[in-house]
Amino acid sequence: IISTLKPGTHGSTFGGSPLACSIAIEAVRILEEEKLAENAKRLGNIVREELTKIPKDIASEFRGRGLLCGLMINKEFAEGWDVCLRLRDAGLLSRPAHGQLLRISPPLTINEEQLGEGLHIITKTLLNY
């Protein structure tokens, strides 16, 4: 495997250090204890349900799993970056993942009320573009 890696393609500045390992163990403990994966799955279903209601002439595709999602904005409707600027002006930060794909990746600690606020901003911004 190592022979296929070129300089700069793989690195780990702090990999294997006792501090980094302790932090990783604690992060996994918190993920499990606070059931963050289960929360991401549940809330991700809400994201999918809400954003697939957006008309296909605005957003042609929704993709993702859990809280790591993307909404494909039709180029005929608007440029992905321009949508992100309008979302910013409405109080929500996002960025295009690949051109027209609007990245939606809230923190795993988000609650349903906060998620609803974000989804409202996205929907309102797109429908009133």
Q: pLDDT tens across 37-68, in order?
A: 999 999 999 999 999 999 999 999 999 999 99
With cut-offs at 50, 70 and 90, classify the pLDDT of residue 7: confident
DSSP-derived letter for residue 31 is H
Secondary-structure class of domain 36-127 per CATH = alpha beta
How buried is residue 67: exposed, middle or buried, by Cβ count under 10 Å (0-12/13-18/19+)? buried
Q: pLDDT tens across 72-82, in order?
A: 999 999 999 99
pTM (2 decimals)? 0.81
Residue 48: how many CA atoms within 13 Å on its side-chain side? Answer: 12
Q: Where are the domains of the chain?
A: 36-127
What is the CB neighbour count within 10 angstroms for residue 95?
Answer: 14
Calculate the CA dihedral of residues 61, 42, 34, 120 and round it to 10 degrees. 60
